[in-house]
Amino acid sequence: MTDFGGTLREARERRGISLGQIAASTKISTTALEALERNDVSRLPGGIFSRAFVRSYAVAVGLDPEATLREFLQAFTDERPRVSAPTFVPAAGIPFEPRTTRAGALFRVALVSLLVVGVLAYFFLHRRQAVPPWVEQASPREDPSAVRDAPAPAAAGPVLPPLPEYTSASAGSSLPASPGFRLEIHPSGPCWISLTVDGRRVLSRLVNSGERLPFQVLAQAVLEVGDAGAFEYTVNGRPGRTLGEAGQVRTARINSASLSEHVR
């Protein structure tokens, strides 16, 4: 097996860069960087996060990130035992459910939301059509001569109270507010982020500081972040709670039932 970690270390030393400097620029923990240089892949989180670490390290020391990633995969794919995906531990107070139950729960939430919107829209339209339009009848102009020649009435009839002003039943009503919430991602530093919105993967890449990525969520958003300390977000314009410390891998599930647990 080629000394992949030694190649990285030699490139770093040629540039006179310390591990601390690389950790500060890439937001990758020093422990993970040391593991890369020792070829100790068991200390890495695995999957897309390990690949992101290799690319970031290569860029920091002036190597081709794609070529370096290919060397990493050739060096360790055949020799590493097959292991299951890492178990993500959510931060305190953030609900977490196994992946096997998420699809069913998401389907039920989406189905109930669609049924509620459909029922409200049906009753709104049905009630609006049932109310007859108010048409003001134009009173005929009286002939002065006919009024003058007409006999006086025998007795004055009872005075009827004025009719109340007609107001359409649908006046002032509005369609129900659309369900869901707005999620905006804006990390403070480079951070690998995977986002699934309503069962569809919409983001899976390294997001840099200064980027602001808005998403409209109907039922649920599932976040997987490679550096909880650099990850920042807002929910409906309110700042989100911190998911963890720098270098920690975290997973969070945000839906209408847990919105209050994710905002400050």
pLDDT digits (tens, 9 = 90+) for 25-35: 989 999 999 98
Under DSSP, is residue 227 helix (H, G, I), strand (E, B) or coil? coil
Q: Which of 88, 96, 75, 27 is nearest to 262 (CA)?
A: 96
Residues 198, 69 share a domain: no
Same domain, 103 and 17: no
Q: Are 261 and 94 in contact (CB under 8 A)?
A: yes
pLDDT of residue 126: 60
Q: Are residues 72 and 181 in the same domain?
A: no
The tens digit of pLDDT for each residue in 132-145 reads 444 444 444 555 45
Same structural domain, 17 and 103:
no
Instruction: Please report whether residue 152 resides in a domain.
Output: no
pLDDT for position 19: 92
Q: What pLDDT, on the 0 to 100 scale, is given for residue 128?
A: 56
When the pLDDT of each residue in the chain is averaged and rounded to a whole number, the result is 77
Q: Evaluate whether residue 63 is within a structural domain.
A: yes
Strand order in the sheet with 200-207: 200-207, 191-197, 220-225, 250-255
Q: How many domains does the chain have?
A: 2
Same domain, 40 and 103: no
In a domain, residue 33? The reply is yes
Whether residue 103 sits in one domain with residue 61: no
Q: Which residues of 214-236 are buried (b: 16+ CB within 10 A; e: fewer)?
A: ebebbbbbbbbbbbbbbbbbbbe
> What is the predicted pLDDT for the residue at 164?
42
Residue 117 has pLDDT above 90, yes or no: no
State yes or no: pLDDT of 50 exceeds 90: no
**Alpha-carbon span 35 to 81, nearest angstrom:** 17
Looking at the domain assignment, is residue 187 inside a domain? yes
In a domain, 137, yes or no: no
Element (H, E) at 158: none
Tell whether 144 is covered by a domain: no
Report residue 168's pLDDT band, with 50, 70 and 90 as the boundaries: very low
Same domain, yes or no, for 27 and 61?
Answer: yes
> Could you give the CA distance from residue 245 to residue 44 in angstroms, rounded to a whole number?
16
223 lies in the same domain as 103: yes
Confidence band, pLDDT 50/70/90 cuts, at residue 92: very low
Assess if residue 162 is contained within a domain.
no
Structural domain of residue 250, as residue ranges? Answer: 99-107+177-262
In a domain, 155, yes or no: no
| Strand, helix or coil for residue 46 | coil
pLDDT above 90 (res 109): no
Nearest partner of 102 among 33, 198, 181, judged by Cα: 198
pLDDT digits 0-9 by tens, 180-227 = 999 999 999 999 899 999 999 999 999 999 999 999 999 999 999 999
Same domain, 103 and 229: yes
Q: What is the pLDDT of residues 62-79, one digit of tens each?
A: 999 999 999 999 888 644
Least confident among 15-24, 34-43, 169-178, 184-193:
169-178
Could you tell me if 31 and 103 lie in one domain? no
Q: Do 103 and 21 lie in a common domain?
A: no
CATH of the domain at 57: 1.10.260.40
Calpha distance 99→201 (Å, rounded): 14
Judge contact between 41 and 80, C-beta under 8 A: yes
Q: What is d(CA 189, CA 232) in angstroms, rounded to the nearest whole number? A: 9
User: Residue 201: what pLDDT?
Assistant: 95
At 221-247, the pLDDT tens digits run: 999 999 989 999 999 999 999 999 988
Q: Are residues 60 and 13 in the same domain?
A: yes
